[in-house]
Amino acid sequence: MLEVGSFSIAPLDIPADSSLTKELPRLKRHLKSESTRLQEWHREGADGREVCAARSAVIDTLLATLFDWTLDTFEPKKRERKLTMTLVAIGGYGRSELNPHSDIDFMLLHSGTTPSVTRIFNHELIEKITGPGGLIYTLYDLGMKVGYSVRNIQDAINVANDDMQTKTSLIESRLISGDAGLFEQFQKRVEVKCVRSHIDDYLQMRITDQDARRVKFGNSALLQAPNIKNGCGGLRDYQNLLWMTHFKYGTRTLAELEAQEMIRPNNRAQLEEGYGFLLRVRNELHYQTKRPSDDLHKALQPKVAWQLGYKDRSPARRLEAFMRDL
């Protein structure tokens, strides 16, 4: 059984002689049970990073089960070239940082030909995954908000080099299930074609993006109703640091930056502690609003503070302590 911290991920399987439509009620019960256990774990004081990682692992288990069942039960009716496929998590999901109501973004990476303006690549296996009764429709029926793309390696590179957000999401990609060799080839090509040859342009775009966020969300970390994700000192600033240092120095974590003596151990500890706390706040914000939320409005602050353990008898003092830590 897979474990994240002290949280055990319940296993899941689908009989080969069943269908995703028949299994839908059981899948709903599974997802509801795991989500309830995750919320209880969070409320018991679990670390923000670990709750997000556990949520990602729950979705990994679900997607891998659906994907593997689809591949195992696929019976081609046409004479087509055999297609290799890989299920790849991207963006925040690729970082294993899913908050309770975060969008779930992934890519169906295949070995087929690159689409053109006049021709879209198609294959029976892709139709089974994306068509009625398939993996994508099942996720929608489960009430999940997903974003997905179907690409081969060259198509992914082309799109990434046309759009900074796509490029960023792809450099954080992570294998969920499928052909590991295809995924490794994809990662190497992305590093060569999208990262090493575009360093200066990417860094400038990230600085421009940061400036735009400062204008829109405020240029102070002391706002009365901060945006947890995009505000000054928020989650995006930490992520921006890692993205830019990856392009500039090839690192992916603060630990790697520390190993190269580009950050001091105490600074790394402070950044990681602060980031984990912001993820914990965002988890509670999602639970309170029951939707993807980033704005910590004043009306929500007392409820969020109380659930995060700020229990002073004085509402004013516990809110003051919470906002000071934030």
At 54 the pLDDT is: 97
Of 51, 82, 57, 66, residue with least CA distance to 19? 66
Cβ 282 vs Cβ 261: under 8 Å? no
3-state secondary structure the chain: CCEECCEECCCCCCCCCCCHHHHHHHHHHHHHHHHHHHHHHHHCCCCHHHHHHHHHHHHHHHHHHHHHHHHHHCCCCCCCCCCCEEEEECHHHHCCCCCCCCCEEEEEEECCCCCCCCCCCCCHHHHHHHCCCCHHHHHHHCCCCEEEEEECHHHHHHHHCCCHHHHHHHHCCEEEEECHHHHHHHHHHHHHHHHHCCHHHHHHHHHHHHHHHHHHHCCCCCCCCCECCCCCCCHHHHHHHHHHHHHHHCCCCHHHHHHCCCCCHHHHHHHHHHHHHHHHHHHHHHHHHCCCCCECCCCCHHHHHHHCCCCCCCHHHHHHHHHHHC
| Residue 60 contacts residue 176 (beta carbons within 8 Å) | yes
The per-residue pLDDT for range 307-325, each reduced to its tens digit, is 999 998 898 999 999 999 9
Q: Residue 244's CB: how many other CB atoms inside 10 A?
A: 16
Q: What is the pLDDT of residues 190-227, one digit of tens each?
A: 999 999 999 999 999 999 999 999 998 888 887 889 99
Phi, psi of 221 (to 5 degrees): -90, 5
What predicted TM-score, i.e. pTM, was given to this entire model?
0.94
Q: Which domains does the chain have, with CATH numbers?
A: 3-196 (3.30.460.10), 199-325 (1.20.120.330)
Please give the biggest Cα pair distance in the chain: 72
Instruction: Give the model confidence (pLDDT) of 285-312 as tens digits.
Output: 999 999 999 999 999 999 999 999 999 8
Q: Mean pLDDT by 10-residue block, N- to C-terminus, for the chain (326 residues)?
A: 87 96 97 97 96 98 98 86 94 97 97 72 89 96 96 95 94 97 97 94 94 89 90 95 94 94 95 97 97 94 95 91 91
